[in-house]
Structure 1
Amino acid sequence: MKLERLIAMIYKLLNHEVLSASVLAEQFQVSQRTIYRDIDVLCAAGLPIVSYQGSSGGYGIIDGYKMDKSLLGAYDIDSLITVLTSLSTVFQDERAQSTIERLQTIAPEHHNSNLAINFDTYRTEPHALLYLRQGITDTKVVHFDYINANNEHTHRKIEPLWLHFKYSTWYVHGFCQNKQDYREFRLSRMMNVQLTTEDFHPHPSTPQNILQTEPEWEKQLKEIVIRVAPQSLAEALDQFQQADKTFQSDGSMIMRIPIYKPLEAKWLWSILLSFGSGAEVLEPAELRVILKQQLEQALHLYKEV
């Protein structure tokens, strides 16, 4: 777990003069390239790390900072404990629990947490997260059946690289042996997840920006405009928190929402149709046509009623 490794690395640097990237890589069982990225993250977070050159060089923390060891305050410790507790519950991670116990020893007494995080797993198949996490840690191939956005059923074999929690959903990124390329899979669409004993070696061309939003996405955002009736305001706000909102004199709300390819976004259609008569799409006109067609097809299923 990256967060656990970063925390452990902080304490190692605080308690040692200089540690080389090779030593850190061996201790944490990762590549030196990973250590370099971790050091960059710690520097960006404000940790005063110094790089020493030469045969006995490596990384250290400036002496003045090491003396008081005041890196983590009460707020930092509380936040780290909360996040690690959530993750250790999801992944049943004993190492994370060990880190939590160490943090608790330096936490202020009688300090009550005011933060809670729920990494929900109800959308995923039982044990899927655990198998994928183990596959990432042990570099083992994972098999599963998958339903893609076009409702096509395939069987996939992937070399899992990392897990990502976004938009209230878990995703796994990895090298798909079927497609011979990197792919992202949504766990809620995965079935019959199996951890195999087949080893894999990470590819040297692993893309480092796979988690980043593609620049061309912004160019394909199109604003949709909907009128939300008073009885559907709460539901609409839950679904579209980032919308530009304007209340009307009748209690309704006009919402302007930038959406990536809205005329192809079936997930968007489902949300809008779920409002029933509680929301009307005003723009674009093409989206109104699509929703009308969807409603007509649904009504056809119940023509005998």
Structure 2
Amino acid sequence: MKLERLVSIIYKLLNHEVLSASKLAEEYQVSPRTIYRDIDVLCAAGFPVVSHQGMNGGYGMMDGYKMDKSLLGSYDVHALITVLTSLSTVFHDARAQGTIERLQTIGNQHQKPSLTVDLDTHRTEPDSLPYLRAGIIQHQTVQFDYINAKNERSARELEPVRLQYKYRSWYVYGYCRSRQDYREFRLSRMLNVHLTNRSFKPRMIPADEASSSPSDSQDSMTDVVFRVYPDALAEAMDHFQQADKQFHEDGSMTMRIQIHRPLQAPWLWSFLLSLGSGAEVLEPAALRDILETKLRNALKRYNQVDM
């Protein structure tokens, strides 16, 4: 604990002009006398810590003392800080914050950021990510209830391996003890997530699972073509940024994009249906039939009259 505190104090002094002993003592929850001893240890180790007197006095590093910047350029440092800042906010990760402080010592603190990242996690259950991250790091299983694509609810116990952010959603991948196989779960469909006290030893991940996810297989990709009308252009373009686009004189647009197994992709159906009359599927015909069936079934529900 003392060593970690000493390392942390070094980086804090590198990142700030002057820090008082009382401020450091409050942050590390130790006495000012302990901070004085820590400073003596740092000075004995060769770090040029200087004392500043007066009302705003305290401790700081000697002017001109900087860390070696040869390993990372300014662009690299600020890119890493940006990503880590976003992740530390999502996971409330104190270690990530400590890494940010260390990186700031080799970057230009006065340079304005040219990139920001917002992972937009307000739609996920607030407690899910920290529990899953802890399970991955500590090799502890996680239990939860899951609603699958068929709207079936089941209890699961997972040995979490990794978290993934894709398709604007968080997923967790790991070994499902309930199904005795590797599975991927979407966090938005997980309920009552909690960390157990059962530990696990990391398993050998199958080669085909480790190299890529099934959704990356080109063999299962299919062209989906749909026409988007003027009242739905912005939403469609936000969702399918990489689609091939062809604009027409009437203001509509034809979009073409490759989708992993579109006939087994409820998320795609839901999005296209959410556009209402603003979009029309042209290809493949089977996908068009699926959407037409769902629209007819929805109309039947609305046309039912309670007797």
How high is the TM-score relative to the length of structure 2? 0.73
2 CA distance for matches of 1:303 and 1:94? 55
Amino acid in the other structure paired with 2:206: P
Give CA deviations for 1:237-276 in whole Å, capped at 9, x if unaligned: 1121121111111111111121222222211111111111
Distance 1:207 1:74, change over 3 A: same
Match of 2:130 in 1: 130
Shift of 1:217: 2.9
CA RMSD in angstroms comes to: 1.9
Secondary structure of 1:259 counterpart: strand
Match of 1:283 in 2: 283
Distance 1:215 1:161, change over 3 A: closer
8 Å CA contact 2:131–2:193 kept in 1: the answer is: yes
Match of 2:183 in 1: 183
8 Å CA contact 2:69–2:106 kept in 1: the answer is: no
1 CA distance for matches of 2:218 and 2:234? 28
Match of 1:147 in 2: 147
Amino acid in the other structure paired with 1:130: P
Shift of 1:216: 7.8
How high is the TM-score relative to the length of structure 1? 0.73
Match of 2:301 in 1: 301
Amino acid in the other structure paired with 2:212: Q
Match of 2:206 in 1: 207
Amino acid in the other structure paired with 1:249: E
Match of 2:96 in 1: 96
Structure 1 stretches lacking a partner, 5+ long: 1-67
Shift of 1:84: 0.8
Larger-gyration structure (1/2): 2
2 CA distance for matches of 1:213 and 1:180? 18
Shift of 1:109: 3.8
Match of 1:172 in 2: 172
**Paired residues, number:** 238
Amino acid in the other structure paired with 1:206: I
8 Å CA contact 1:171–1:184 kept in 2: the answer is: yes
2 CA distance for matches of 1:145 and 1:106? 45
2 CA distance for matches of 1:137 and 1:111? 34
8 Å CA contact 1:135–1:142 kept in 2: the answer is: yes
Shift of 1:122: 2.1
2 CA distance for matches of 1:216 and 1:132? 24
8 Å CA contact 2:215–2:260 kept in 1: the answer is: no
Structure 2 stretches lacking a partner, 5+ long: 1-67
Alignment of 1:188-267 (within 5 A): 188-203=188-203, 205-207=204-206, 209-210=209-210, 212-214=212-214, 217-267=217-267
2 CA distance for matches of 1:153 and 1:109? 50
Match of 1:112 in 2: 112
